[in-house]
DNA sequence: ACGTATTTGTTCGTATGTATC
DNA sequence: GGATACATACGAACAAATACG
């Protein structure tokens, strides 16, 4: 630790810890020493050490849990986007848990995407996708409420979205457009995705249409930015 | 400001400032009051105020510049990805500045994407794309060096990538696959993109192929996550 | 089930360094 | 060079969540 080498102490410490994680001194899932212990090991104040940890947290290398400790995060995993939407395969591959279902009114964003008026009825179905026992993504599906009235019941009976949509005459559902951006997660999303609130989520907003080209589903997928990669096959 | 209302002071302050920015009290590009002034306005310590600013910075709402002040960031803008790559239109729409050109050896990542061996020659051309006078994205193009020997000179003479590639028999160049993720920017990228180092960039890695399907260009585009949206048309 | 210890989160105070104007 | 403004670092105290007896 160079105390006046032009480079901030907290950066040097972050780099040292990053090296430890990369080299396997602290393997994925492992608990790091406490803040007090680490601060003593590097000979700095607890604030300075916390600054370093905050950086590693943003970089997606560790996760901090109040009262428990600091834990090493796992690496990244790929996930396909686009092409055929709602395939039964997608829903079975990783176990999907239904987070929410319900009837809502369209906000400006989903109204514009689906070609509806603000306040029009919207059927919402929200999934938490789990792979290898770890939460990966949250997807909120928005369906036009007038055309898909009763979709929730159909989904509960059929078990998959694709089967439920077939009852409404939707055989093929294609992804027409996807927008990708990054932002900070909501409190609920952060909790479900098991990630810190100050680490960004990658947001993919997709508009899915049926064979006739009319909008079926405006879906918003949030995923831990450093844990996942969206792959677009062209 | 509720000093013991269960919600942290710095969060309340961040929310208040966010509201001010959203309502136009501080329009895009405006300079916020100094840390000391804001701390006094909210009746908190400067550290607490800095915590709030750090949060707004991560959220992409403000940009902090040492010695100058805190500035409101502009909103988001869309950008198309995929489909036909290297169209002259893209290069003219926003003025592109060439950041770097040169001959390098393939790192594992670009080697795998282009189907080359590690250490094979790679032609690198790096652009900074500017729109409305603001830096938007940085794109690093990697071409197989053996096939595209002399590409840099061709590019300098022709002025556009698409024209230069035509000299090498590449008429159409299609985006085959794009991976999108998020990470923290390098120091150079942060400087060029005019963004804070602790705000994530959205990274889009594209593999572009010619009509015959052989790889032409492995490109890596970094963009300020909160200022831009990638749009994939399917 | 409850209280205590542990561990992280927040807030204040103070001092000094560094970049910009 | 001086003034302004953000960056870093240390110290102290208490709050909040968790773990453990």
Q: Which residue has the higher pLDDT, B80 or B137?
A: B137
Nucleotides of D under 7 A from a protein CB: 4-12, 15-19
Q: A164-168, A170-174, A191-195, B105-109: which range is least confident on average?
A: A170-174
Q: What is the average per-residue pLDDT within A48-65? A: 90
Q: What is the mean pLDDT of residues B217-234?
A: 77
Calculated CA dihedral for residues A169, A174, A176, A179, nearest 10 degrees: 110
Mean pLDDT of chain A: 83
Enter the tokens of residue B53: 């600013």
**A228 touching B, CB under 8 A?**
yes
What's the mean pLDDT in A207-218? Answer: 87
User: Radius of gyration (Cα) for chain B, nearest Å?
Assistant: 22
A52 three-class SS: helix
Tell which wins on pLDDT, A130 or B45: B45
Helix, strand, coil shares, percent, chain A, to 5: 30, 35, 35
Distances (CA, A) of A202 to A125, A182, B22, B93, B202: 20, 4, 22, 27, 8
Interface test with B, best of A78, A232, A233 (most B CBs within 10 A): A232
pLDDT, position A49:
95
The region that residue A163 occupies, defined by phi over 0 for left and psi between -120 and 50 for alpha, beta otherwise, is: alpha
Mean pLDDT across A193-199: 80
Considering only CA atoms, which residue is closest to the C1' of nucleotide D18? A67
pLDDT tens digits, A120-163: 999 999 988 876 667 778 889 999 999 999 999 998 888 878 88
* pLDDT at residue A92 in the model: 47
Q: Is the CB of A51 under 7 A from strand D?
A: yes
Question: How many angstroms separate the CA of A66 from the C1' of D20?
Answer: 16
| Listed range (A108-112, A154-158, A176-180, B81-85) with the worst mean pLDDT | B81-85
What are the chain B neighbours of A198 within 8 Å (beta carbons)?
A: 55, 58
Better-scored residue on pLDDT, A149 or B5: A149
Cα–Cα distance, A75 to A58 (Å, whole number): 14
Say if the Cβ atoms of B184 and A231 lie within 8 Å. Answer: no
Which residues contact residue A206 at a Cβ distance below 8 angstroms, ignoring those fewer than 6 apart?
A81, A82, A85, A175, A176, A177, A178, A217, A218, A219, A220, A221
């Amino acid at each position: 630790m160079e105390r006046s080498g032009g480079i901030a102490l907290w950066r040097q410490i972050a780099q040292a810890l990053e090296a430890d994680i990369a080299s396997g001194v602290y393997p994925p899932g492992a608990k790091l020493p406490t803040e007090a212990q680490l601060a003593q090991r590097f000979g700095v104040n607890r604030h300075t050490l916390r600054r370093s940890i905050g950086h590693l947290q943003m970089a997606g290398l560790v996760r901090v849990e109040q009262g428990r400790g600091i834990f090493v995060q796992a690496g990244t995993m790929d996930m396909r986007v686009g092409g055929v939407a709602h395939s039964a395969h997608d829903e079975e591959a990783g176990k999907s848990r239904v987070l929410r279902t319900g009837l809502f009114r369209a906000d400006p964003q989903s109204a514009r995407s689906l070609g509806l008026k603000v306040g029009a009825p919207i059927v919402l179905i929200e999934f938490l996708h789990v792979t290898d026992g770890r939460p990966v993504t949250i997807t909120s599906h928005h369906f036009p409420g007038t055309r898909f009235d009763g979709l929730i019941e159909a989904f509960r009976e059929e078990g998959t979205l694709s089967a439920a949509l077939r009852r409404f005459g939707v055989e093929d559902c294609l992804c027409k457009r996807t927008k990708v951006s990054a932002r900070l997660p909501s409190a609920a999303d952060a909790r479900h995705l098991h990630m810190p609130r100050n680490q960004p989520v990658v947001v993919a907003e997709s508009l899915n249409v049926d064979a006739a080209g009319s909008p079926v589903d405006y879906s918003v997928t949030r995923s831990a930015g450093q844990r996942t990669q969206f792959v677009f096959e062209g």
